[in-house]
Amino acid sequence: MTPSQYDSNHEEERHECFSEHKDNWIIFRCPQCDYVRRMNWETGEMKVRGGEFSVLHSGMHFPIGINPNTNMN
Ligand SMILES: [Zn+2]
């Protein structure tokens, strides 16, 4: 039951986000779609809007001193 061929038409779309810092919020904005992720580094509250499940969003440049180890889903 081993796949004899690796299907390479599996393309993973990846978008690079820009981050900005506003008050207690870190805002990640995708320039390629409507994906916006906002994270409150004080309360750990996270809000995600837009984007698609099939698209991987990267470019999470957290400002120094902020622990990104909160819910990343
Ligand atoms: Zn995107």
Residue 18 carries which side chain, given as an amino acid letter?
A: F
| Residue 66 domain flag | no
| Residue 7 domain flag | no
pLDDT digits (tens, 9 = 90+) for 29-53: 999 999 999 999 899 999 999 998 8
Q: What percent of the chain has pLDDT over 90?
A: 45
Residue 23 CA to residue 58 CA, distance in Å, equals: 22
pTM to 2 decimals? 0.64
Residue 15 CA to residue 33 CA, distance in Å, equals: 8
How much distance in Å is there from the Cα of 54 to the middle of ligand 1?
A: 10
How much distance in Å is there from the Cα of 5 to the middle of ligand 1?
A: 30
Tokens for 57, please give them: 């969003």
Alpha-carbon dihedral sign for residues 31, 63, 45, 54: positive
Residue 72 CA to residue 47 CA, distance in Å, equals: 10
| Residue 5 domain flag | no
How much distance in Å is there from the Cα of 30 to the middle of ligand 1?
A: 5
| Residue 72 domain flag | no
Residue ranges making up the domain that contains 32: 13-58
| Residue 42 domain flag | yes
In the chain, the number of structural domains is: 1
| Residue 35 domain flag | yes
